Amino acid sequence: MSSAHLSIGDLSRATGTKVETIRFYEKNGLLPEPSRTQGNYRAYEPAHLSRLSFIRRARDLGFSLDQVRALLTLSDDRSQSCAAVDVIARAHRDEVERKIKDLQSLKTVLDQVIESCHCNIVADCAIIESLAPAPQGS
Amino acid sequence: MSSAHLSIGDLSRATGTKVETIRFYEKNGLLPEPSRTQGNYRAYEPAHLSRLSFIRRARDLGFSLDQVRALLTLSDDRSQSCAAVDVIARAHRDEVERKIKDLQSLKTVLDQVIESCHCNIVADCAIIESLAPAPQGS
DNA sequence: TATACACCCTGTAGTCGCTATAGGGTCAAG
DNA sequence: CTTGACCCTATAGCGACTACAGGGTGTATA
């Protein structure tokens, strides 16, 4: 009987997670429902804190909630092969890599567009012009 | 002359925008309401097509709908100073730049995490371990 | 004892930018 | 006269929260 229970506010402060977000994780099956006090307050065990920290760390690394759920399930079954973990991590890294490339080519275009503007009024603005389609008015 | 009306499907095909998205833009004030046919079909002018193209191009460049709205308003008042356009474009570019940097440092961490895994079972998995930080007292 | 205040509860709706349905109406061709 | 493509409105869903509204609980102080 460990009696050092934590309130939702304690978890919030300990992990930098908003209280509403913690309840959201519970409702969405990432964090198991804790026991309750007489006044119906959530009373967490240290294990909950560990799990929430895990979730936050994975979220910080950009894993989706679905991916976090999968990682949690895998980490719960510690005898399982590590390969599935690797697959999730690599898929996520590839996704991040793709996003970086996309944003880099986007930035190149934005740089060009911004660079091209030497005008004073919107009528001559190269930025606006680059957004407007060539007037193929027939 | 300009009485060749376009259906919503025409606009959709011409710009690669889903029909629902076009209606969404109308409901959200980006695309003005067109006139209607006797059968209550939307009947667009070429000006609508230009405006939708503008929206799509700006969206492709990652501008938010709020930013697109602002750009459209500016481009409508062609005597205005170009400075406001520049501000929006630069703000967006800065945002993109920031996202690239964030993702790059994220990828560095992911690379390290993935690299560190040489194990077979989850119990020893460095990826999982790196997500579950040592429980900090406080 | 009262009461002020921080904290907690549930439930619902809002954010962004669409996308996907449900349940119909319109219109031209065969 | 029916098929089928197209169109209409209205509503709900996505992800990952965030922000209320409208209450209850717990404790320190006047």
Write out pLDDT tens, residues A40-98.
999 999 999 999 999 999 999 999 999 999 999 999 888 888 888 999 999 999 999 99
Considering chain B, what is the average pLDDT of its residues? Answer: 90
Nearest chain A alpha carbon to B84: A122
Residues in A touching B90 (Cβ below 8 Å) = 114
Separation between Cα atoms, residue B19 and residue B36, nearest integer Å: 16
For B121, list phi and psi in degrees, rounded to 5: -120, 155
Chain B positions touching A57 (Cβ under 8 A) are: 130-133
| Nearest CB neighbour to A121, from listed B62, B82, B114 | B82
3-state secondary structure of A43: strand
pLDDT in tens, B66-116: 999 999 999 998 888 888 899 999 999 999 999 999 999 999 999 998 988
Q: How far is the CA of A59 from the C1' of D15 (A)?
A: 13
> What is the C-alpha separation between A131 and B14, in angstroms, rounded?
16
Structure-token pair, residue A30: 């990432």
Instruction: Quickly give A129 CA vs C28 C1' distance in Å.
Output: 40
Closest-CA distance of chain B to residue A82, Å: 5
B44, B8 Cβ separation under 8 angstroms: yes
Residues B57, B38: Cα–Cα separation, whole Å: 32
3-state secondary structure labels for all residues of B73-96 = HHHHCCCCECHHHHHHHHHHHHHH
Cβ neighbours, 10 Å, residue B49? 17
Could you give phi then psi for residue A12, rounded to 5 degrees?
-60, -50
Residues in chain B closer than 8 A to A74 (CB atoms): 122, 128
pLDDT value at residue B138 = 35
Amino acid at site B129: E
A131 neighbors B51 (Cβ within 8 angstroms) = no
Burial of B125 per CB tally in 10 Å (0-12, 13-18, 19+) = buried
Tokens of B94: 């800065």
How many angstroms separate the CA atoms of B34 and B21, rounded?
15
Statement: residue B136 has pLDDT above 60 = no
Return the structure tokens found at B8.
């919503």
Chain B closest-CA separation from residue A29 CA (Å): 18
Residue B2 has pLDDT above 50, yes or no: no
Instruction: Give the 3-state secondary structure of residue A77.
Output: coil
Evaluate whether A124 touches B81 at the Cβ level (below 8 Å): no
Of A81 and A28, the structure prediction assigns the larger pLDDT to: A28
Helix (H) or strand (E) holding B43: strand B42-43
Instruction: Say if residue B132's pLDDT is above 50.
Output: yes
CB contact under 8 Å between B107 and A100, yes or no, is: yes
Q: State the average pLDDT over residues B26-46.
A: 96
